[in-house]
C-alpha cells in the first residue's frame, strides 16, 4: 500500500510545465549535442526531438515522460529564439561546409576509372595532329575483277 504523501513545491514552481532552462543553456554552450533534420531539432545524447511551428510553439518527442508536459509559457519564446540563433550561427554554417566538402570528396572506383579514361582521351586528342592525305596520293579505285 502506498503511503499518503503530500508534495511541497518551492514558490513559483509547478508540476504542470517542463522547465527547459537546461536545454536553452545546452543550445548555447554545447551546440554540438544537437542536430537538425527533417524539421526536428534532435538532442543526440538524450534522443529527445523538438519541432517548432511558425508561432514558436514546440512539440516534444521523447521516449521518456518528458513529452508529457508542456514547455513553461514564460520560457517558450526564449527557447524558440535560442533555437533560431543556434540554427543560424551553428547549424547553417556547418551544413554549408559539409555540402561544400562533399563536392571534393573522393569518388568511387568506377567514377575515377571513367574520369581517367576521359582525361586520357582528351590528352590524346590534343596531342595528335590532324592527319590529311592529299587526294592524288590515293590510288584510284578500280573495280574488282
Q: Give the pLDDT confidence score for residue 10 in this predicted structure.
A: 57
Please state, as a whole number, how many other Cβ atoms lie within 10 Å of the Cβ of residue 59.
13
Which strands sit side by side in the sheet containing 58-61, from one edge to the other? Answer: 34-37, 40-43, 48-52, 58-61
Residue 115 has pLDDT above 80, yes or no: yes
Q: Which residues contact 107 (CB under 8 A, 6 or more apart)?
A: 115
Phi, psi of 124 (to 5 degrees): -60, -45
DSSP letter at 90 equals I
Q: Give the pLDDT confidence score for residue 8 in this predicted structure.
A: 46
With a pLDDT cut of 70, the percent of the chain lying above it is 79
Domain range list for the chain? 17-102
pLDDT in tens, 54-112: 888 899 998 888 888 888 888 999 999 999 999 999 999 999 999 999 888 888 999 98
Q: What burial class does residue 50 get, using C-beta atoms within 10 Å of its C-beta: 0-12 exposed, 13-18 middle, 19+ buried?
A: buried
Beta bridge partners of 60: 50
Residue 5 has pLDDT above 50, yes or no: no
Model's pTM, two decimal places? 0.64
Average pLDDT, the chain: 83
- What mean pLDDT is predicted for residues 33-52? 94
Amino acid at each position: 500500500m502506498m503511503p499518503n504523501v503530500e508534495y511541497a513545491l518551492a514558490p513559483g514552481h509547478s508540476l504542470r510545465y517542463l522547465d527547459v532552462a537546461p536545454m536553452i543553456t545546452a543550445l548555447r554552450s554545447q551546440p554540438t549535442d544537437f542536430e537538425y533534420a527533417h524539421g526536428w531539432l534532435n538532442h543526440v545524447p538524450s534522443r529527445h526531438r523538438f519541432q517548432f511551428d511558425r508561432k514558436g510553439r514546440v512539440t516534444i518527442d521523447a521516449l521518456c515522460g518528458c513529452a508529457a508536459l508542456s514547455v513553461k509559457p514564460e520560457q517558450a519564446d526564449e527557447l524558440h529564439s535560442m533555437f533560431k540563433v543556434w540554427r543560424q550561427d551553428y547549424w547553417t554554417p556547418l551544413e554549408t561546409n559539409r555540402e561544400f566538402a562533399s563536392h571534393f570528396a573522393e569518388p568511387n572506383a568506377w567514377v575515377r576509372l571513367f574520369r581517367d579514361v576521359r582525361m586520357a582521351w582528351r590528352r590524346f586528342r590534343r596531342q595528335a595532329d590532324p592527319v590529311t592525305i592529299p587526294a592524288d596520293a590515293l590510288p584510284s579505285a578500280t573495280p574488282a575483277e
